[in-house]
Amino acid sequence: MPKNKSHSGTKKRIKVTGSGKLLREKAGKRHLLEKKSSHKTRQLSGNEAVAPQDTGRVKRLLGGL
């Protein structure tokens, strides 16, 4: 049986911390920024933990962890 491969797209988007938490970028800060307020774009910067409902799915995509 061949080895399982981790999902390349997920690898690029999710960072795993030392304690095992999964961090992601917030959505909505790539384009159409001119119409968004400075307050909104500042709120969208930085990392956020993956929602508890999604952690199982993301870990499976990353190869089990």
- Does position 65 have pLDDT exceeding 80, yes or no? no
pLDDT-based confidence at residue 64 (cuts at 50, 70, 90): confident
Tens digits of per-residue pLDDT, 47-58?
Answer: 999 999 999 999
pTM given for the model: 0.84
Delineate the domains of the chain, giving CATH numbers in brackets: 8-61 (4.10.410.60)
Over residues 15-61, the pLDDT tens digits come to 999 999 999 999 999 999 999 999 999 999 999 999 999 999 999 99
Task: Please give the angle made by the CA atoms of 41, 14 and 18, to the nearest 5 degrees.
Answer: 110
Report pLDDT for 30.
Answer: 96
Q: Could you give the C-alpha distances from 56 to 8, 23, 30, 35, in angstroms and in order?
A: 17, 13, 27, 35
